[in-house]
Amino acid sequence: MAKSLNRSADRILWMDEGKRTKRIAIKSNLLLVFILLMLFLIGGSLFYVWSRIQVIQLGYEISSALKGERALNEESKKLRLEIATLKSYARIEKMAVEELRMAKPKPDQVIVIR
């Protein structure tokens, strides 16, 4: 009878161990799912923050490029005004008379070519 008691005790212990291993397996699966979910949430959050930082940085670059464009447009306007000033007939005539000692031609010195 001692042998039969041990066999039933072994079966009971074996059956209890099976329930325990199932519980442990379920707990470890839940822990694994929880860890994966947390990693996914953390990764998604980091990606979201990184993308927002990139958007802000690109906004600053666009703003800087627009400022540069405005400065170049202003410089272009100044250079066009300077070109117009340098090309003016009054300035060219003044330089010819004062610096180069030129004089206006007399009517008989002008030859018209057709």
| pTM of the predicted protein model | 0.55
Q: Mean per-residue pLDDT for 22-31?
A: 82
Handedness of CA 27, 30, 32, 38 (dihedral sign): negative
Percent of the chain residues topping a pLDDT of 90: 68
Question: Which tokens hold the place of 56?
Answer: 């802000």
Mean pLDDT, all residues of the chain: 87
Inter-residue contact 85 to 91 (CB < 8 Å): yes
- State the pLDDT confidence band at 22, using cuts at 50, 70 and 90: confident
CA dihedral 40, 46, 48, 52 (to 10 degrees): 180
Inter-residue contact 97 to 103 (CB < 8 Å): yes
